[in-house]
Amino acid sequence: MSKDYIWKLDVEYPADALHGLDSPFGLVGNLRSDWAPRGWEPDDEYIDRFKTERFVWPAVRKYYLSRSCAVDRANLLEHYGAKVRLLRSMPIKFEERNFKRPLRLIEGGAA
């Protein structure tokens, strides 16, 4: 019997990438838009994709359905200087639930 899990990343961004306590830009912990990893330079492909020359942190999903996807994203974030912890859920158990009303059968679907 296989066990299914969901995965989550706990990301700690570099301290110098965050606004400080006295920052007029927002709350503590907000990412600075003017920060970039040391030695990072945008290339033409990056500028074309993101429509900017500034560094954009990779997005972090709330949950990942596979360990490999979570690890790939964690590795990318760590490459840019973040510290990442990989969190795994308890095994997921599915149970059948009754619907309040019967499901409709959709006829004439694509064959």
Q: Is 88 left (phi over 0), alpha (psi -120 to 50) or beta?
A: beta
> pLDDT over 70 for what percent of the chain?
86
Neighbouring C-alpha atoms within 13 Å toward the C-beta of 28: 4
Strands 83-88 and 7-12: antiparallel
Over 60: is that where the pLDDT of 27 sits?
no
For the cut 80, the answer to whether the pLDDT of residue 69 exceeds it is yes
pTM of the prediction?
Answer: 0.75
Q: What is the distance of C-alpha 58 from the center of its chain?
A: 7
pLDDT given for residue 83 in this prediction: 96
Place 100 in a pLDDT band, splitting at 50, 70 and 90: confident
- Cβ count within 10 A of residue 70: 23
pLDDT-derived band at 65, boundaries 50, 70, 90: very high
pLDDT value of residue 3: 84
